[in-house]
Amino acid sequence: MSELRRAVRLLDVDPRRFAVAVALGVGALGSAVALSAVAAWLIARASQMPPVLELSVATVAVRAFGVGRGVLRYLERIASHEVALRGMTALRTTLYSRLAAGRPEAALRVRRGDLLARVGADVDAVGDVVVRGLLPAAVAGVLAVFTSVAMALFLPTAGLVLFACLVLASVVAPLLAARAARATELRAAHARADMTATALGLLDDAGPLAVAGRADAELAALRDADRRIAAAVDAGAGPSALATAAGTLAQGLAVLGALALGIPAVRSGAMTPVELAVIVLTPLAAFEAASALPAAAVQVERSRAAAGRILALLDDAGDDASSTTTTPARPSPSDTPSPVLRAQALDCGWTGRPLAVAGLDLEVRPGRSVAIVGASGAGKTTALLTLAGLLDPRAGHVTVDRNDVASLSRTARVSAVVVTTEDAHVFGTTVLENLRVARGDLDADEARAVLARVGLGAWLEALPDGLDTLLASDGRTVSGGERRRLLLARGLVGPARILLLDEPAEHLDPRLADELVTGLLTDPRGLDGTPRGVVVATHRLAPLAAADEVIVLREGRVAARGTHADLLADPGYREALERELATERAR
């Protein structure tokens, strides 16, 4: 439960707003209890045929409590959901800020679907603990005390019996429900995350998965996750049924206890028959608050499991108090230093996996271009992520002007070096706002210029609303080549002086791909003419004559390096280039 307490603190719940929600909830359910008590008195007293005026106050009270219950319940829902939604916003903002400021590897090594589940459904589950867990418990506790005291005014022993039965329904039944949820919710949470991750992978990469023959395996994994969710729910059905039975049993015992104690009291003259009707029928409404507590206990367990997943992500990311999450603005060429990115004896790889690249040495400064080439799986992307400080080196060092790149604040890091990967996200907003992710003050003319520079000028003109055209989330409404060039344009408008570009010409025909890569290697300057250094990871060799240096990766090591002209003397490099050119001629 300590994890849930930590997560609830991150919700930053306003105690005053929560107290207002509790008061409204007590008022709503208290009106229901009062309505039941007054109605019981009215029915019993009316059966004695008193003067009508004796019933007028009770009649008005029934109407008032009936209307008040609905009005107060509506206001309670508004107040409680405002508390919960504010809390979810605070938690999600904290989560985004900490992920942006902390160790990037924490988010990179989580599957996209799992990450989506944590920042989406898991945050909602933690926020729901306010409305569906803490609030019902607080309302039930306050109402149990007030109702028991009210019944004790009629008959003290009846008040004690009602309180004991409310404790049974409010404590024992929720504990049984919590026990069932505790045994199943963690498994269900992991299964739901697996389902989300697998489903998102199938939606995003349906074509590649089908071509690779992996679609059936992914569908089988999806069905397995669904079976695990169903099994987790089934495993908790028995204890949940016992919890429901315990609540119903407590309600029945309260009514029987009121009858057993009230009838002798009426016979002895200590209580009137009308009062007996009140203490017997009122518990039926008093248990309405307690009946919600088993579900509240289940919600607490669900929120606890979600809090554990969120806090594991936050703890893994760490925190960088010196960083900021504001969108980078336009750099000033006059006072921006020229950074030098150096890698020395660098080993690159994901934690817990074999090395992807070993012994990489590299130096890039504004005005210099380097190409990293190799077959698919050679470690190009892993090397770029490590150079950008998004992955910790397994050995060696990556520095920017003698400062370890991973130790830089986020602002300093993105001002010096930025990587554009093939799986970077396209947001479900306008074309212009997708570019402003990299630089918030980008204007329309600059956006058109950079899109034309990456070969998207004609594409932009064909869009129905130009820069204001809405794109689907993750670029589902654009082709692969258009998506890749849009991401490239975003990288070009940013303030970084060192650009790391992962397969920027993928999904383009060879001629356009070579023109784009040649342009990037020859002139990677920013829109204001600021010199930049560039590292391009690519599998194409034809345009690399424009690079100052080419690094060839084979089997996780640097197999050769030098200029394109120098490497033509290497048999492996020359043969790969000849195969590439022959394939293009055959087309």
What the block records as the tokens of 534 is 């560039």
Residue 390 to residue 437: CA distance in whole angstroms: 18
Residue 136 to residue 247: CA distance in whole angstroms: 15
Q: Are residues 301 and 353 located together in one domain of the fold?
A: no
Q: Are residues 345 and 236 located together in one domain of the fold?
A: no
Rounded to 10°, the helix 156-167/135-154 angle is: 160
Beta pairing class for 341-348 and 395-400: antiparallel
Residue 536 to residue 517: CA distance in whole angstroms: 8
Domain membership flag for residue 352: yes
Domain membership flag for residue 482: no
Residue 561 to residue 374: CA distance in whole angstroms: 12
Last residue of a domain, one of 262, 283, 317: 317
Tell which residue, 389, 516, 406, 391, has the closest CA to residue 451.
516
Q: Are residues 130 and 217 located together in one domain of the fold?
A: yes
Rounded to 10°, the helix 2-11/293-317 angle is: 80
Q: Are residues 303 and 377 located together in one domain of the fold?
A: no
Domain membership flag for residue 579: yes
Domain membership flag for residue 208: yes
Q: Are residues 310 and 390 located together in one domain of the fold?
A: no
Residue 300 to residue 347: CA distance in whole angstroms: 44
Domain membership flag for residue 582: yes
Domain membership flag for residue 454: no
What the block records as the tokens of 93 is 């903002």
What the block records as the tokens of 170 is 């409010």
Residue 403 to residue 377: CA distance in whole angstroms: 30
The alpha carbon of 367 is separated from its chain's Cα centroid by a whole number of angstroms, namely 39
For residue 146, what are the contacts with CB-CB under 8 A and spacing of at least 6? 26, 30
Beta-bridge partners for 369: 534
Residue 526 dihedral angles phi and psi, to the nearest 5°:
-75, 180
Residue 344 to residue 242: CA distance in whole angstroms: 64
The SS3 assignment for 396 reads: strand
Q: Are residues 365 and 286 located together in one domain of the fold?
A: no
Tell which residue, 119, 188, 219, has the closest CA to residue 425.
119
Rounded to 10°, the helix 135-154/15-46 angle is: 40
Beta pairing class for 498-502 and 357-364: unpaired
| DSSP assignment string, 488-554 | HHHHHHSS-SEEEEESTTTTS-HHHHHHHHHHHHH----TT----EEEEEES--GGGGGSSEEEEEE
Tell which residue, 546, 545, 550, 542, has the closest CA to residue 581.
542
| DSSP assignment string, 91-136 | HHHHHHHHHHHS-THHHHTS-HHHHHHIIIIIHHHHHHHIIIIIHH
Residue 107: how many CB atoms within 10 A of its CB?
Answer: 18
Q: What stretches of 240-353 adopt beta strand conformation (E)?
A: 341-348
pLDDT tens for each residue of the chain, 587 residues long = 677 888 888 888 888 999 999 999 999 999 999 999 999 889 988 988 888 888 889 899 999 999 999 999 999 999 999 998 998 888 888 888 887 776 666 666 676 666 766 777 788 888 888 888 889 999 989 998 999 998 999 999 989 999 999 888 888 888 877 776 776 766 676 777 778 778 877 776 676 677 778 888 888 888 988 888 888 777 767 767 777 788 888 888 988 998 999 899 999 888 889 989 988 888 888 888 888 888 888 888 888 878 887 888 887 776 543 344 444 444 444 444 568 999 999 999 887 788 899 999 999 998 899 999 988 888 898 999 899 888 888 899 899 887 888 777 777 777 788 888 877 778 888 999 989 988 888 899 999 999 998 889 999 999 888 999 888 766 567 887 888 889 888 988 888 889 999 988 887 788 888 888 888 888 877 777 788 899 999 888 988 989 999 999 988 889 899 999 999 988 888 888 888 888 777 76
Residue 371 to residue 353: CA distance in whole angstroms: 25
Q: For residue 155, give its domain range.
A: 2-317
**Under 8 Å between Cβ of 18 and 130:** yes
Dihedral sign from CA coordinates of 94, 95, 97, 103: positive
CATH number for the domain harbouring residue 518: 3.40.50.300
- Domain tally, the chain: 2
Q: Are residues 416 and 268 located together in one domain of the fold?
A: no
Domain membership flag for residue 334: no
Residue 87 to residue 236: CA distance in whole angstroms: 29
Domain membership flag for residue 455: no
Count, residues in the chain: 587
Q: Are residues 258 and 345 located together in one domain of the fold?
A: no
Q: Are residues 141 and 284 located together in one domain of the fold?
A: yes
Q: Are residues 299 and 369 located together in one domain of the fold?
A: no
Residue 511 to residue 170: CA distance in whole angstroms: 72
pTM for this prediction: 0.63
Residue 550 dihedral angles phi and psi, to the nearest 5°:
-120, 130
Residue 54 to residue 386: CA distance in whole angstroms: 84
Q: Are residues 414 and 272 located together in one domain of the fold?
A: no
Residue 568 to residue 552: CA distance in whole angstroms: 12
CATH number for the domain harbouring residue 67: 1.20.1560.10
Q: Are residues 351 and 396 located together in one domain of the fold?
A: yes
